[in-house]
Amino acid sequence: MSASHTDNIPTHDAHIASHQDDARIFLDASRAHVERRLHQLVPHDSVEPRVIHEAVRYSLFAGGKRFRPALVVAVGTAFNARLETLLDTACAFEMLHTYSLVHDDLPAMDDDDLRRGQPTCHRRFGEAMAILAGDVLQTLAFQTIAGDDRLSSDVRVRLIGELAHAAGTPSGMIAGQARDLAAATHEIKAEELTRIHAAKTGALIRAAARCGALIGNARDAELEAVGTYAARLGLLFQITDDLLDVTSTAAEIGKTPGKDATQQKATYPALYGMKRTRELARAAHDDALRALDTLTYPTALLRAIARLVLERRA
Amino acid sequence: MSASHTDNIPTHDAHIASHQDDARIFLDASRAHVERRLHQLVPHDSVEPRVIHEAVRYSLFAGGKRFRPALVVAVGTAFNARLETLLDTACAFEMLHTYSLVHDDLPAMDDDDLRRGQPTCHRRFGEAMAILAGDVLQTLAFQTIAGDDRLSSDVRVRLIGELAHAAGTPSGMIAGQARDLAAATHEIKAEELTRIHAAKTGALIRAAARCGALIGNARDAELEAVGTYAARLGLLFQITDDLLDVTSTAAEIGKTPGKDATQQKATYPALYGMKRTRELARAAHDDALRALDTLTYPTALLRAIARLVLERRA
């Protein structure tokens, strides 16, 4: 209790800037590790039947930020887990995330032509193969964790439970997607929009943080804390996504900008206006940081990541 | 070695008929147990977001044979596992199977209007919701096994690995589906047809048997034996499916008959003619039985199930 309050609260801009540089270096390194491991975990595209492995690799290696895996690694590292015990679980989160993108882009869903600056999976490989590529990416995510013998079976079973809970219903990703589809047919209120995002993107981001902590043998209260941090971070990510859709060009964000407005999708700027949306982003950022205050582990990296998301331009 | 050969080889029709009655009673009982447990494992359709749970339940409770779960239970019981340790894994196989049916029926895939005598999931709930219902059924399958605390974590991790391997690529269900899609565009040979079925339907049936044996603490050689039995049984199931598509009415098989021929799909009757196809069915049946010969466990039920599949009319 005698620790200086400056331990947790950066007091000048230079301090913040240096932590943000560290966070950028961390995110780059994490992305490189994850990409290398993903290449090993996914069947090579010379393996028959080739077309499905081509479609999977096309979607998986299109240059994503690898944000969810980075969160597994960042939180796990904070809890003293070694990188090699975190990497496969980190990759499983990216597989699951990519499956959701491939299926979300389908004509029956969001009907998107561009993803990360390239034709979407179904535009490149046809709709049937895109459905299968998404399907098998989900399978691979669970298979990867189940097969990771660096972790005890007890931990693997808990990780799979966390991932499935976040991916499914009633409060996970699919529930969010189902709510989102329903919302497209009528005007929704701010409360429903937040509920959609919490399920559709927040649950998986929260689970990524929790899984990193689980591998680091976190106690329940610590899982709760990093889970809340990540849930707020997920909301922040979504709000900044909505802001970027309004303010960016296609080259900057790698997909068709202004599409939300064209499709009359509910977004934070549409519901609140730009000024209030920026305030909400700041509040989500501050809430994320506050959730970390109870932890005795080093949290500078996690705080800097939140700041990077708040200030992201792409 | 001194055991009479009549232990394994039924010598007269009355003997076979009585085992087949036992097998029918077993299959009915297994189906009832599985249905009851599925109802508990899947969120009720009063749970929000309702539409996704309605779509899942619509597809899952449309009156399937529950053949894969029955195989988990039949093999597991042969290996002395208790029913309650088998039931959740059995249900996971049905969830995974149902996910595959929902996605296979989609317009971009087989474009089927009828399944088990009812409109397919996408005809009833729309294409987007059918994609999500399939997605979440896959998630639920893995979640169910991960959460089954009647089993040790070591066993759960192995079961999940088996299920994922059978569901994925390069030799599982999705690989088979990808091969099947590719095959639709050109004439295929008998060898390729068998490879498609081995992956598309055989892998999951084989895994169901192996998982039942795993829960019963089977040794590797025993896993191999029941796996081979089930792989042959899966082939038999597919051949009889093809035969029924030619010979049945819609009321009997609950889907549009003759559709294979209309879609110019490769089938055993199309490649071999009816007579030779019936011989292939008999050979698959005999191979399945032979695989059981090395087991010291009681196999009468497994043999009777193979016979029922050989002689099925729906």
pLDDT per residue over B42-51, tens digit each?
Answer: 999 999 999 9
Exposure of A251 in the CB half-sphere (CA atoms within 13 A): 0
Residue B139 CA, chain-centre distance (Å), reads 18
Q: pLDDT by residue (tens digit) across A39-70?
A: 999 999 999 999 999 999 999 999 889 999 99
Closest-CA distance of chain A to residue B22, Å: 36
Closest CA to A59 of A2, A102, A100: A102
pLDDT at residue B5, as a whole number: 40
Residue B56 has pLDDT above 90, yes or no: yes
Q: Which residue of A has its CA nearest to B199?
A: A49
Nearest CA to CA, how far is B145 from chain A (Å)? 9
Min distance B10 CA to chain A CA atoms (Å): 41
Residues 6+ apart with CB under 8 A from A304: A16, A19, A20, A22, A23
Which homologous superfamily is B13-226 in?
A: Farnesyl Diphosphate Synthase (1.10.600.10)
pTM over 0.95: no
3-class SS of residue B109: coil
**Do residues B103 and A125 make contact, with C-beta atoms less than 8 angstroms apart?**
no
Taking the alpha carbons at both ends of chain B, their separation in whole angstroms is 39
Q: Is the pLDDT of residue A311 over 70?
A: yes
CA distances from residue A33 to A26, A70, A84, B57 in whole angstroms, order as listed: 11, 10, 10, 41
pLDDT of residue A2: 40
Integer angstrom CA distances of residue B19 from A264, B67, B78, B81, B94: 63, 18, 15, 21, 25
CA A236 from centre of chain = 11
Can you list the alpha helix ranges (DSSP code H) found in B42-66?
A: 50-60
Q: Where are the domains of chain B?
A: 13-226
B224-251 confidence digits (pLDDT tens): 999 999 999 999 999 999 999 888 765 6
Which token pair is A87? 């990497």
User: B6 vs A131, which has greater pLDDT?
Assistant: A131
Contact B131 A103 (CB under 8 A): yes
Among the residues of chain A, which ranges form H helices? Answer: 13-41, 50-60, 67-78, 83-104, 121-125, 127-146, 153-167, 173-183, 190-197, 203-215, 220-247, 250-253, 259-262, 268-272, 274-291, 300-310
The secondary structure of B178-239 as a DSSP string is HHHHHHTTS---HHHHHHHHIIIIIHHHHHHHHHHHHHTT--HHHHHHHHHHHHHHHHHHHH
A173 Cβ contact partners less than 8 Å away, ≥ 6 residues apart: A100, A166, A167, A199, A200, A201, A203, A204
Mean pLDDT of B185-213: 91
Spacing of C-alpha A251 from chain mean position: 21
Chain A interface disruption, residue of B44, B46, B57, B143, most A CBs within 10 A: B143
CB-based contact A135 B131, cutoff 8 Å: no
Contacts of B165 in chain A (CB under 8 A): 143
A127: which chain B residues are within 8 Å (Cβ-Cβ)?
108
Asked if the Cβ–Cβ distance from B181 to A109 is below 8 Å, we say no
For residue A110, the chain B residues in CB contact (below 8 A) are: none
Can you read off the two tokens belonging to residue A246? 């309004």
pLDDT digits (tens, 9 = 90+) for A167-198: 999 999 999 999 988 887 777 888 888 899 99
Among all chains, which residue has been given the structure tokens 């499914």?
A: A168
What sign has the CA pseudo-torsion A189, A113, B112, B284?
negative
- Contact predicate A87/A223, CB 8 Å: no
- List, for residues A135-172, the tens digit of each pLDDT value: 999 999 999 999 999 999 999 999 999 999 999 999 99
Q: Between B52, B135, B154, which is nearest A153 by CB?
A: B154
Q: Are A226 and A209 in contact (CB under 8 A)?
A: yes
**CA dist., res. A164 & res. B129, Å (int):** 19
* Rounded-to-integer distance, Cα B199 and Cα B172, Å: 5
For chain B, what is the mean pLDDT?
91
Q: How far apart are CA B169 and CA A158, in angstroms?
A: 25
Question: What would the mean pLDDT of B73-98 be, rounded to a whole number?
Answer: 98
* CATH number assigned to the domain covering A13-310: 1.10.600.10
A137-173 b/e (C-beta count within 10 Å ≥ 16 → b): bbbbbbbbbbbbeebebebbbbbbbbbbbbbbbbbbb
For residues A239-268, give the mean pLDDT: 74
Query: A267 or B291, which is more confident?
Result: B291
Contact A49 B179 (CB under 8 A): yes
Hey, are the CB atoms on B178 and A147 less than 8 Å from each other? no
In 3D space, the residue among A96, A62, A77, A99 whose CA is nearest the CA of residue A30 turns out to be A77
Contact B53 A139 (CB under 8 A): no
H/E element, B119: strand B118-119
| Max Cα distance, chain A (Å) | 63
Q: Is the pLDDT of residue B186 over 90?
A: no
Residue (of B203, B205, B236, B209) closest to B223 by Cα position: B209
Q: Do B191 and A190 form a contact (C-beta atoms < 8 A)?
A: no
- What was the pLDDT predicted at B58? 97
Taking alpha carbons only, the member of A202, A187, A263, A276 closest to residue A233 is: A202
Compute the count of residue pairs across chains A and B with CB atoms less than 8 Å apart.
149
Average pLDDT, chain A: 91
Answer yes or no: is pLDDT of B10 > 50. no
For B219, the token pair is 């040794």
Chain A positions touching B127 (Cβ under 8 A) are 108
**pLDDT average, residue stretch A6-34:** 78
The two tokens of residue B254 are 């609950």
